[in-house]
Structure 1
Amino acid sequence: MKSKPLTLYSKTVSYCFFLLLPKPKKKTQPMTYSKQDTKNYVVIRPCICLLWTVILAAFVTAAFLLWPVDPEIEMEKLTVKRAKVHPLPPLSANVWLSVAVKVHNKVLCWMELAEVDVGIKYRGQKLGHVETEGWHVAGWGSAHVFGDLEFGGLPSPEVAHFMQDLGKGRVQFHTAVEVVGNLGLFFFRFPNIFKVKLSCEVLVNTKNHTIINQHCIVKMLVIFYISIHTSVMQV
């Protein structure tokens, strides 16, 4: 028997399979490159969004703090100090009043109140007005403006009603408060002027010198620039 050909055939088969092993290495290289690209893209995008969010938040905050807003005005006190009747014809009366107005600043900018005017009426008859100036209100602060008013010559048709209301302990007045001023921030004064007029129906308790109730309406609110106003006047 011959056995040599079998030995030569087995050696040839063993060398053929080792040449295919390095081929899978080529498939892993594109996957590694794409992961790096994806990672860099995800890191850059949140940074840009965060930057725009911070800028937008800063702009909204600055607009909220610095945007000019009309001051809040409140008739804080109205007191009838005393009244004197002149019985000799023509019948008349003198009335002494004391008023207190609260001006509240609702923004960061300070306010310079150039004029605070308080007018008082009784049953449509003007008793007079109090005017003051030079009040400074800090940002988010308040100012209390006080004034005294003396009116002489309440006409005879109203004297009887006024004395009757004093006897009841309740007197109703009509008040008109007008505030004019400027806005500023730190050492800078803005070139604009605000003007607010508040009209109130005030019921006063003359016994304990308190306000029972009041109904107020803002009648006029004007914010204008001095430069624009001046140019119109020149034309």
Structure 2
Amino acid sequence: MSKQGLRDSSVPYIPLPQNLNQQNVIFSPVYYHRPNQTNHYLRRGAIFAGVLLLLSATLLFFYPSDPILKLARIRLNHVGVNSSPKLTIDLSFSLTISVRNRDFFSLDYEKLVVSVGYRGKEFGVVNSEGGRVRARGRSYVNATLDLNGFEVVHDVIYLIEDWAKGVIPFDTTTKVNGVLGLCFLKIPLKAKVACEVSVNTRNQTIIRQDCHAQ
């Protein structure tokens, strides 16, 4: 075949249109960023602080606390002063003491001690039997203190003056020692409440009482 024949049989050239939309594709490499170390440490610190705060709140909530003593009731049975042959005093009190357990475990106590005195001098002591106070519970203990013919050695003049006035101030102190039953642990607890009781010697009644925990 001649060159002229090859030229005639070739595909004619068609020019590309001028308004062809061109799309540019840009390839960018992918970078894997490491996590920020500062944020990681802050996150771990926040978690640790939260756990520590929760643990502290739990320990504070369950931490053993001493029981609360309260003189729920006091009644004067008898009071008298004898001047012959010696200056002696007869005194009888009936008391009801409230023992409140604030803990989440039971409280066992061996005895409850109640003492009465005058102007800082102790006259007598009475011990009640022991018992158990349930968790978050309250128990009432009755005690009677009797003094017959107790010789007054100190503050004789003050006692005579108070007797003449018709009002004698007495001091009462109530103490309890107990053990908190926490599984196999025995945690000692104690409480004390002091009261000032003013007694009317004429009508044999209590006219005022002021108590505070110690």
TM-score using structure 2 length: 0.67
Equivalence for 1:133: 129
Does residue 180 in structure 1 map to residue 187 in structure 2? Answer: no
Between Structure 1 and Structure 2, the one with more helix by share is: 1
Residue 164 of structure 1 aligns with an amino acid whose one-letter code is A
Q: Which runs of 5+ in 2 are unaligned?
A: 1-11, 36-41
1:187-222 Cα deviation digits (max 9, x unpaired): x25222123344x2413354595573425352xxxx
Equivalence for 1:103: 99
Q: Is the 8 A contact 1:79 1:204 kept in 2?
A: no
Could you tell me which of 193, 209, 212 is aligned with 2:188?
Answer: 193
Q: Secondary structure at the match of 2:61?
A: helix
Distance across 1 between alignment mates of 2:52 and 2:112: 38
TM-score using structure 1 length: 0.62
Distance across 2 between alignment mates of 1:85 and 1:131: 24
Change (3 A) 1:109 1:97: same
1:129, distance to aligned residue in structure 2 (A): 0.9
Change (3 A) 1:162 1:145: farther
Q: Is the 8 A contact 1:108 1:139 kept in 2?
A: yes
Identity of aligned residues (%): 19
1:84-124 Cα deviation digits (max 9, x unpaired): 44453124232111222222222222211122111110134
Distance across 1 between alignment mates of 2:54 and 2:129: 36
Could you tell me which of 85, 108, 115 is aligned with 1:112?
Answer: 108
Could you tell me which of 64, 75, 79 is aligned with 1:79?
Answer: 75
The structure with the largest alpha-carbon Rg is 2
Aligned residue pairs: how many?
Answer: 192
Could you tell me which of 60, 69, 94 is aligned with 1:64?
Answer: 60
Equivalence for 1:164: 164
Distance across 1 between alignment mates of 2:87 and 2:199: 25
Equivalence for 1:11: 15
Does residue 202 in structure 1 map to residue 196 in structure 2? Answer: yes
Q: CA RMSD in A?
A: 4.1
Structure with more contact order per residue of length (Cα contacts < 8 Å, sep ≥ 6): 2
Q: Which runs of 5+ in 1 are unaligned?
A: 1-7, 39-44, 219-235
Change (3 A) 1:211 1:67: farther
Residue 76 of structure 1 aligns with an amino acid whose one-letter code is A
